[in-house]
Amino acid sequence: MQLNIQAGKRRKPLSLTPLIDVVFILLLFFMLTSSFIKWHNLELAVSAPSQSTSQSNESPPLLVKLNAEGKLSVSGQTFAAHDDAPLQQLLVDNTDARVILFTADEANIQLIVSTLDRLKRLGAEGVSLNTDR
């Protein structure tokens, strides 16, 4: 009696070419969808308020208020979010004055940091952020 044993079907070897193609497509997708932002540092000077009362030779600080929409108000004068010329003229007129930034509770962190960077760019020397409420 003869047994008819058929050889099992031979499997084809697994090709890595489609897998490599998928990896390259994923790499291309993630490279194109990621953002390439130039990050830079913003230096903030943190100092404790001095207790001396002999500051009569210094000019009073320039109080700048930032609302939630990005508008700045200084001494009752309001500046639009991207109107730099009048704000720069005000900062040039008060070159020796410190600038203290007060923010609205609704202002987000990005708006505050952008405003600090804007004030430094326009020529304000001693910019500080008021953290007291």
Domain count for the chain: 1
**Within a domain: residue 93?**
yes
Higher local confidence (pLDDT), 40 or 30: 30
Three-state SS at 29: helix
Average pLDDT over residues 43-69: 67
Domain range for 108 is 62-129
**Within a domain: residue 76?**
yes
The pLDDT, as a whole number, for residue 128 is 85
**Within a domain: residue 7?**
no
Longest alpha-carbon distance in the chain: 120
Average pLDDT over residues 72-96: 82
Looking up residue 109, the CATH number of its domain turns out to be 3.30.420.270
Average pLDDT over residues 72-94: 83
**Within a domain: residue 87?**
yes
Average pLDDT over residues 58-63: 80
Distance, CA of 100 to CA of 61 (rounded, Å): 7
**Within a domain: residue 50?**
no
HSE value, Cβ hemisphere, 13 Å, CA-based, for 86: 11
Q: Is the pLDDT of residue 107 over 50?
A: yes
Q: Is the pLDDT of residue 100 over 60?
A: yes
Higher local confidence (pLDDT), 126 or 7: 126
Convert 65-89 to b/e letters by CB count within 10 Å (16 or more is b).
bbbeebebebeeeebeeeeeeebbe
**Within a domain: residue 13?**
no
The pLDDT, as a whole number, for residue 133 is 61
E strand spans, the chain: 62-66, 72-74, 77-79, 99-103, 127-129
**Within a domain: residue 11?**
no
Q: Is the pLDDT of residue 130 over 80?
A: yes
**Within a domain: residue 24?**
no
